[in-house]
Amino acid sequence: MEALTLILLIITGIVNLICFIAVLKELWAENTLFGILCLIGTFFTGVGGLVLWIWGWCQQELRPVMIAWTIGQVIMAILLVAYGAF
């Protein structure tokens, strides 16, 4: 059971990373400075990812990616609780 949970955590982590990169790419194309600030903010404080997530939900053309990213985050949180990380 733990191996299955770990595999699912890895898969949802990859999905979340792909969605993060897709939204960051769109932000970077629209506003390079804000994209750089979100990337730096993600690495140093983690707040950049939250800002990017909120910005992505405000963009109509990114709705499918944001739905996948949100579902991935929810599944990852549930798996982390089931795996005993919290």
Report the C-alpha gap between 14 and 64 in whole angstroms: 17
Whether the CB-CB separation of 19 and 70 falls below 8 Å is answered with: no
Confidence (pLDDT) at 82? 82
The count of C-alpha atoms lying within 13 angstroms of the C-alpha of 67, restricted to the half-sphere facing its C-beta, is: 4
Structure confidence by residue, pLDDT tens digits, 14-69: 999 999 999 999 999 999 999 999 999 999 998 999 999 999 999 999 999 999 99
Confidence (pLDDT) at 50? 93
| Cα 47 to Cα 42, 43, 66, 80, distances in angstroms | 6, 9, 17, 21
